[in-house]
A and B are shown apart, each in its own frame.
Chain A
């Protein structure tokens, strides 16, 4: 039964609200472990869903699910150590909503019905809003307000888009279940005009949640104000979930022969996001906001690659997987930096290399990975995207793409150098690092980065085949 995989964290999440701290923490890790085992079983057996009208196991869903599962398990181990170091008063609420968040995101990856998918995405907003407000400060309140309002309104647009797709079915006299997979098979009979309108609205709607510019304004605030484990989840997997909605709708568009239309729009939004990220990263003063803008950049890269199609679509999926692995490790490391220096500003940090050497290794390696250095996966993904862009004759857009990536690298590198090697003597009051680098505060990052590294040299056949299956539906592949 497929549904059990999102029902388990739902139930444990509800229970966690009523548990004392110590047991709640164990429950968090335990559920993470069970979830990972269930995901692996699902990957291996690929069973039919019990409510097959609403849920289905799809290749793109499986990819996201496995990433979610692995990330959550590692993040939950980190969270336990993080919670011991930081002072969060309402810890049971935090752990409870972490688990509910996991449940809703899992539901997103398994949803096949258009409206159920929407329900799941909106549920992620509701489950993650309390996580952002964990610190109960006025800034985190503002971030939560922006997050809930902007995302709810954005996702409402996606609901309207989904409604218009049902209209496209009505006009085309199509009578199939309202699921992504059924619609893809009958895409040619759908009314093209309303399908296009629906796609644009869905792109704007889920694009808001994915962090595509110009709807990204909530993202840096939410990511910087949330506690680091929650930021890692938001950036590492929530954005992927929203992308899944765009990906699935794009599949219908491609099957309907409207792939050029949807591709062009994806390219525009993708480039806008990369350029927006570049302008803000250059003069960024807070390191968590800098990482958030880097997420916007990477979402832009993924949208751009999907829009170009072919080998670039394959590259986009590679980028998606590796971005999740590397970015979540970076956010976890940023949590250590925040615990250590007690400050979010870049100017109040420095000399990370000698003060927190283990965190430095994770942070700096993550930086190299996210900037597209070989041998990390983002390098391969971006390379495929650039090759794909040139092959399909997108010379100008590819030029902008490469140039902007260069600018972002320069900005990012500048800030990371300051954090890592600058003298740390500006704030005399607390020059002593406040935490010890325990194993569980650094090993999750190491494992995430190591996974990314290993996947570059050795990709299991089943993983490779699943990616190929996923992108084949939008005309992608390694040809």
Chain B
């Protein structure tokens, strides 16, 4: 089996999933998110053969937002709140890496079973997308640090974007751009909330956010 360039990049993304599960340093996690964002925005260009001027500009804007602006906005937050290390996670880092390995195997197996015709030439595309999606959800559930949870949400969004872009360019660029703006605005709002959480509770541990319950 010969890997084409797309699959080569995607294999790196799969590795980055493992890295994100094992990393306790937030800046490293942000780098991973940025890398995944860049890949997620470039890959559709190779698949859709959408080499028109409009397509190129759209890809560039996506890359700018997903790969640079979104990660940078979270990076600014951790600089402001001065928290670099994560708080103790709910699921430990070693256990997380093991979960990550299992997840990649499962994602590959499931995508083999599904056999979607339009993307069968890219072996790793669907597995990577699913792995990103689920690893984002995993971080949301397994981490108590609010910043790591937001990063989990961004990883999940990247995964969905990768799934979406694989199924042809059915949605117009203007629509995709709308989705992108929504995600950006959502992340910005989350960044503001993160800063407020830090100011109010002097930490970003979500265990502190437990006053409202029955």
By a beta-carbon cutoff of 8 Å, the part of chain A in contact with chain B is 54, 113, 115-116, 118-119, 122-123, 125-126, 129-130, 133, 138-139, 141-146, 148-149, 152-153, 156, 159-160, 163, 166-167, 169-171, 178, 220-221, 224-225, 280, 283
Contacts and interface: CB of A to CB of B under 8 A. Distances in A.
Given A113-B175, A146-B209, A119 B153 contact: no
B80 interface: no
Given A156-B156, A166-B167, A166-B171, A148 B178 contact: no
Contact of B201 (A125, A138, A144): A138
Contacts of B39: none
In terms of DSSP, what is the predominant structure of the interface of chain B? helix
A348 B22 CA distance: 49
Contacts of B163: 160, 163
A113 B209 CA distance: 37
A116 B168 CA distance: 18
A143 B178 contact: no
A138 B200 contact: yes
A145 B209 contact: yes
Nearest to A152: B186
Contacts, number: 104
B179 A126 contact: no
Contacts of A118: 179
B175 A116 contact: yes
B6 interface: no
A171 B117 contact: yes
Contacts of B175: 54, 113, 115-116, 119
A138 B211 contact: yes
A160 B209 CA distance: 29
Given A139-B211, A146-B212, A167-B116, 12 more contacts: A54-B175, A122-B179, A123-B182, A126-B182, A142-B209, A142-B211, A148-B190, A156-B157, A159-B179, A160-B133, A163-B163, A163-B167
A167 B175 CA distance: 17
18 contacts: A54-B175, A115-B171, A122-B179, A126-B182, A138-B211, A139-B212, A141-B196, A143-B212, A145-B146, A146-B209, A156-B157, A159-B164, A160-B133, A166-B167, A170-B167, A170-B170, A224-B212, A283-B214
| A-B complex: 4 closest residue pairs judged by Cβ atoms | A122-B182, A119-B178, A163-B164, A142-B209
B118 to A, nearest CB: 6
A126 B113 CA distance: 38
A125 B116 contact: no
B185 interface: yes
B2 interface: no
Nearest to A113: B175
Nearest to B200: A138
Contacts of A224: 212
Interface string B158-190: 001001100110110001101101110110011
Contacts of B140: 149, 153
A59 to B, nearest CB: 24
Contacts of A160: 133, 160, 163
Contact of A148 (B137, B179, B183, B193): B193
B117 A163 contact: no
A118 B168 CA distance: 19
B153 A156 contact: yes
Residue of B190, B209, B212 with most chain A CB atoms under a 10 A cut-off: B212
A37 B39 CA distance: 48
B197 interface: yes
A312 to B, nearest CB: 31
B160 A156 contact: yes
A146 B146 CA distance: 11
Contacts of B186: 122, 125-126, 148, 152
B189 A129 contact: yes
A178 B193 contact: no
Contact of A170 (B168, B176, B181, B209): B168
A289 to B, nearest CB: 8
A441 B144 CA distance: 42
Contacts of A149: 140, 149-150, 153, 190
A118 B200 CA distance: 33
Contacts of A115: 171, 175-176, 178-179
Nearest to B165: A163
A414 B190 CA distance: 39
A144 B197 CA distance: 10
Contact of A166 (B170, B181, B182, B185): B170
Contact of B182 (A119, A129, A153): A119
A159 B160 contact: yes
A125 B170 CA distance: 26
B76 to A, nearest CB: 18
A339 B102 CA distance: 54
Contacts of A139: 211-212
Contacts of A148: 186, 189-190, 193
B132 to A, nearest CB: 12
A123 to B, nearest CB: 6
A283 B118 CA distance: 54
Contacts of A221: 212
B133 to A, nearest CB: 7
Contact of A145 (B157, B182, B183, B197): B197
Nearest to B194: A145
A116 B178 contact: yes
A459 to B, nearest CB: 37
Interface string B137-158: 1001000001001100100110
A129 B188 CA distance: 12
B157 to A, nearest CB: 6
A9 B116 CA distance: 43
B212 A126 contact: no
A125 B187 CA distance: 12
Nearest to A123: B182
